């Protein structure tokens, strides 16, 4: 197999030579560095690489060139190599071109010239982008392979687990591909044993539980210690931030998640408003970085591990897990966020995982290449999903009860949707029913104006409405509002039951619940802002507050 390629494009021979020299100096061992003096030459070379089956890891292109400009070239490279990382080189003063490239060509980064010394400005960017490229791209013939039926909820669950846990795999649909069926026969997997996971060393897992997959991949599912200073339940942005600060400030910290790191944010195809990422960042990339950071600083992470309850034992909190084990901690953070509520329309339950998906647009989008899909919901998460699905599906319809998206979706997404020809809005409409035999074959939509019901042939329904807090596992002593959101700080002391629940001579700290030393942060908390940044902020705050609590006890 040839080494993956780093491609540089610049019409200025001196700049081209300088970038080539800097990249070769650092990456030559693992990558081949290629270059072209124009966008036209670069496109021709990229197509040739594709024809030869070579892997293209990154294209760095100058913006101002005669003929095809950098942003246009990068947009066209994406059609040939969707996973290649794309970087625009701009003059320091050319911020407008950079912003345009981010918005229109969805470039991953822009670099201002000159970048000397490369150790400070060039290599950190290229290192990061190559790391993320490696995670997403997998050589065609090696690595983990998942074989199954597209319409099987079990297949969907394993896909979701692998993607959520940032484990690269290749999906092989046994119904679509004769070669896959031959592979199935060769490894001796019967149809009733699907989905099956094939490992590099020939080992096969038949219809496994996610836990078994994690064990086989060498993930630890047992805590290293019996007692911790801080246990964090839920590894979304709030939990990850608390893990980074907890570990870096010397607390014995463990982070647990029943599914995977990243939480809701981890399922986002592109978060555009998180501070410090001008080109946006995918939820999986943000998660990968945060988890790496937390672990590097010394936090333990275990998943999948579901916490089913807590009991309080004179200041110590005893956590019970679904697998029967227990863990003891002095302080804990509830960061279990929210999840989608089941949509009540007829046919939704039977087809969940078989064409009806809650969130999950990033995991399932490639399976709907050239097909029709609908999205139910008008928030930012629905908008991001529509933009992501539009790269694969031929027709994406967004079904909303309101007359427009303006009140519920950020303007940048409304604009992107308006300029994407294969995304259509179905305002003042609701999902009436999902139809199909074994998988989704169509839906009926109800017009809220006329009440008329209209059939639509679609292959999948992605639901982004009706969230509820994941707080059912908490004991009654942790007070919640009538919707189940956890009360903290002053909000706790304002409710009637507080006086019976709270026995301390002090008031609850900010973000502390009605049980001393049990904190809550992020979307599960009453009054949360439902943003990545606010969850991260609250998760970080909790560590200082936990310190304060620990010194009080």
Query: Which positions from 377 to 406 touch ligand FAD by CB under 6 A, shown as an x/- string?
Result: ---xx--x----------------------
Identified binder of ligand FAD from the candidate list 39, 353, 359, 489, rule CB under 6 A: 359
3-state secondary structure of 7: strand
Q: How far is the CB of 324 from ligand FAD (least distance, A)?
A: 14
- Reading the block at residue 124, the tokens are 């950190």
Structure tokens at 552: 């009080």
What span, in angstroms and rounded, lies between the C-alpha atoms of 269 and 178? 31
User: In 90-177, which ranges are continuous DSSP H helix?
Assistant: 95-104, 118-136, 153-164
Compute the least distance from the CB of residue 362 to ligand FAD, in Å.
8
H-run or E-run covering 400: none
H/E stretch holding 272? none
> In the structure encoding, which two tokens stand for residue 544, read together?
């200082």
- Identify whether the C-beta of residue 241 lies closer than 8 Å to the C-beta of residue 290: yes
Contact call for residue 354 and ligand FAD (CB under 6 A): no
Report residue 305 CA to chain centroid gap.
19
Instruction: Using the rule CB under 6 A, give the single segment among 3-11, 79-87, 398-406, 529-537 that binds ligand FAD.
Output: 529-537
Q: Which is nearer to ligand FAD, 171 or 358 (CB)?
A: 358
CA 269 – CA 490 distance, rounded (Å): 36
Helices 70-80 and 95-104 cross at an angle (nearest 10°) of 20
Which residues, 208 to 237, sit near ligand FAD by CB under 6 A? Answer: 233-237
User: Cβ atoms within 10 A of the Cβ of 490, count?
Assistant: 11
Whole-angstrom CA distances from 525 to 361, 379, 483, 509 are 26, 20, 11, 14
Interface positions, 250-269, toward ligand FAD (CB under 6 A): 256-259, 263-265, 267-268
**Binding flag, residue 542, ligand FAD (CB under 6 A):** no
Nearer to ligand FAD, 49 or 291 (CB): 291
Q: Please, which residue, 257 or 512, has the CB nearer to ligand FAD?
A: 257
Q: Which is nearer to ligand FAD, 67 or 309 (CB)?
A: 309
Residue 228 C-beta: closest distance to ligand FAD, Å? 15
Query: Which of 44, 224 has the CB closer to ligand FAD?
Result: 224
Site string for ligand FAD, 438-477 (x = CB under 6 A): --------------------------------x--x----
Q: Closer to ligand FAD by CB, 84 or 541: give it.
A: 541
Please, which of residues 300-329 interact with ligand FAD by CB under 6 A?
306-307
Q: 511 or 535: whose CB is closer to ligand FAD?
A: 535
- Torsion on CA atoms 485, 490, 493, 495, rounded to nearest 10: -50
Q: Are residues 59 and 42 in contact, defined by beta-carbon separation less than 8 angstroms?
A: yes
Q: Can residue 273 be called a binding residue for ligand FAD (CB under 6 A)?
A: yes
Q: How far apart are CA 414 and CA 419, in angstroms?
A: 9
Binding site for ligand FAD (CB under 6 A): 233-239, 256-259, 263-265, 267-268, 271-273, 306-307, 335-338, 359, 380-381, 384, 470, 473, 522-524, 530-533, 535
């Amino acid at each position: 197999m040839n080494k993956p390629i780093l491609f540089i494009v610049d019409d200025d021979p001196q700049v081209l030579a300088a970038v080539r020299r800097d990249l070769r100096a650092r990456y030559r061992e693992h990558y081949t560095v290629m270059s072209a003096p124009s966008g036209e030459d670069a496109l021709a070379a990229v197509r040739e690489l594709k024809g030869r089956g070579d892997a293209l890891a990154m294209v760095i292109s100058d913006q101002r060139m005669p003929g095809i400009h950098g942003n246009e070239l990068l947009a066209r490279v994406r059609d040939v190599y969707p996973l290649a990382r794309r970087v625009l080189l701009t003059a320091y003063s050319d911020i407008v071109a950079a912003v345009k490239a981010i918005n229109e060509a969805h470039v991953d980064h822009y670099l201002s010239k000159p970048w000397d010394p490369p150790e400070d400005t060039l290599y950190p960017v290229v290192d990061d982008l190559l790391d993320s490229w490696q995670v997403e791209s997998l050589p065609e013939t090696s690595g983990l392979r998942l074989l199954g039926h597209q319409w099987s909820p079990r297949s969907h669950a394993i896909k979701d687990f692998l993607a959520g846990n940032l484990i690269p795999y290749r999906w092989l649909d046994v119904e679509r591909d004769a070669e896959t069926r031959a592979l199935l026969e060769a490894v001796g997997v019967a149809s009733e044993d699907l989905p099956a996971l094939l490992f590099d060393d020939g080992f096969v897992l038949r219809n496994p539980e996610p836990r078994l997959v994690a064990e086989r991949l060498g993930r630890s599912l047992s805590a290293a210690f019996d007692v911790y200073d801080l246990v964090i339940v839920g590894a979304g942005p709030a939990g990850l931030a608390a893990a980074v600060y907890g570990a870096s400030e010397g607390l014995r910290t463990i982070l647990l998640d029943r599914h995977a790191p990243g939480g809701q944010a981890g399922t986002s195809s592109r978060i555009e408003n998180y501070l410090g990422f001008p080109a946006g960042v995918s939820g999986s990339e943000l998660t990968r970085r945060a988890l790496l950071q937390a672990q590097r600083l010394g936090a333990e992470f275990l998943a999948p591990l579901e916490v089913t309850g807590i009991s309080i034992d004179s200041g110590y909190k005893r956590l019970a897990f679904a697998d029967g084990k227990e863990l003891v901690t002095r302080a804990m953070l509830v960061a279990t966020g929210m999840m989608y509520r089941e949509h009540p329309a007829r046919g939704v339950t039977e087809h969940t995982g078989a064409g009806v998906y809650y969130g999950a647009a990033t995991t399932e989008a490639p399976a709907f290449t050239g097909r029709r899909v609908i999205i139910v919901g008008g928030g930012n998460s629905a908008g991001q999903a529509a933009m992501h699905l539009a790269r694969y599906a031929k027709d994406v319809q967004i079904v909303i009860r309101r007359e427009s998206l303006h009140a519920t979706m950020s303007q940048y997404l409304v604009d992107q949707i308006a300029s994407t020809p294969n995304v259509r809005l179905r305002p003042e409409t609701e999902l009436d029913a999902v139809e199909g035999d074994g998988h989704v074959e169509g839906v009926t939509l109800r017009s809220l104006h006329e009440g008329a019901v209209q059939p639509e042939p679609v292959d999948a329904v992605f639901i982004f409405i009706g969230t509820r807090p994941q707080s059912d596992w908490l004991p009654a002593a942790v007070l919640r509002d009538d919707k189940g959101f956890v009360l903290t700080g002053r909000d706790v002391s304002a409710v009637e039951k507080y006086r019976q629940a709270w026995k301390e001579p002090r008031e609850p700290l900010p973000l502390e619940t009605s049980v001393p030393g049990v904190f809550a942060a992020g979307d599960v908390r009453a009054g949360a802002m439902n943003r990545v940044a606010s969850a991260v902020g609250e998760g970080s705050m909790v560590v200082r507050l936990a310190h304060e609590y620990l010194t009080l006890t």
